[in-house]
Structure 1
Amino acid sequence: MVDYRNYRVWILSHQLVLKTYLLLQTFPTYEQFNLTDQLRRAVVSIPTNIVEGCGKDTQKELVRYLYISSGSTHEVEYLLLLSKDLGYLKEIDYLQLQEDVVSIKKMLAVLIKKIKQTIG
């Protein structure tokens, strides 16, 4: 088992959750059970799957959960774009979140590659 708090990608993804939750408060109430809920679930899935993978017994299982986390990151990327295009996110907020998402995607890819090299 690995302590997830030692991974910078977990720290950044946790911060992304906090930023996203704050911005979701400004979304229209009629989106509460649609886009807002979907974005909330997807963004929380990123650090959650890192945590779950770190609790597994093997590196292979960790990689599996990191891939799930990466998939959620791609989902968040699209949902943020949609939110901006619908006028729910200001351009500046979108660009800041997008920068975070891209960083997380890159970090996950590097981490997955590194772990896969150690397990053969």
Structure 2
Amino acid sequence: MNGPHKRLELWKEAMNLCKLIYRVSKGLPEDEKFGMISQLKRAAVSVPANVAEGAARQTKKEFKQFLFIARGSLSELDTLLELSRELGFEIENYYQETVEKLNKVNALLNGLLKSIG
């Protein structure tokens, strides 16, 4: 499928962030498989998924609603990463890269929301 979302820089960067989160989650303790790991992956997947779903909608209002959901998931992801770090989980190797990617996706998301009006 060659949907409209695939042309969006936001979607591309959100996909990269999602793949990075999957790599980060491999370093978390096995006993977090159904806790932190699951939450991190769910929040990460939600960002590009909601961008894609919104881009396929008929109106700008609908698109914006899905972008707001993506922004909420991005904030959740930021919180989960910070909590993982504070709990001493081994994410330091990826932490700076992940924060930079989060900030980039957030800036693109806010820019797109602003441009839609």
Q: Quote the RMSD (CA, aligned, Å).
A: 1.2
**Counterpart amino acid of residue 116 in structure 2:** I
Identity of aligned residues (%): 32
Query: Matched residue of 1:33: which SS?
Result: coil
**Counterpart amino acid of residue 52 in structure 1:** E
Q: TM-score, normalised by structure 2?
A: 0.93
User: What 5-or-longer segments of structure 1 have no aligned partner?
Assistant: none
- For 1:63-95, what per-residue CA distance to the aligned partner results, in whole angstroms no more than 9, with x for missing partners? 110011011111101111111122223334111
Cα contact 1:84–1:90 (8 A) shared by 2: yes
User: 1:85-100, aligned counterparts within 5 Å?
Assistant: 85-100=86-101
Query: Matched residue of 1:62: which SS?
Result: helix
User: 1:14-93, aligned counterparts within 5 Å?
Assistant: 14-93=15-94
Q: Distance in 2 between matches of 1:101 and 1:51?
A: 18
Q: Kindly state the Cα deviation for residue 21 of structure 1 after the two structures are TM-superposed.
A: 0.6
Cα contact 2:46–2:73 (8 A) shared by 1: yes
Q: TM-score, normalised by structure 1?
A: 0.90
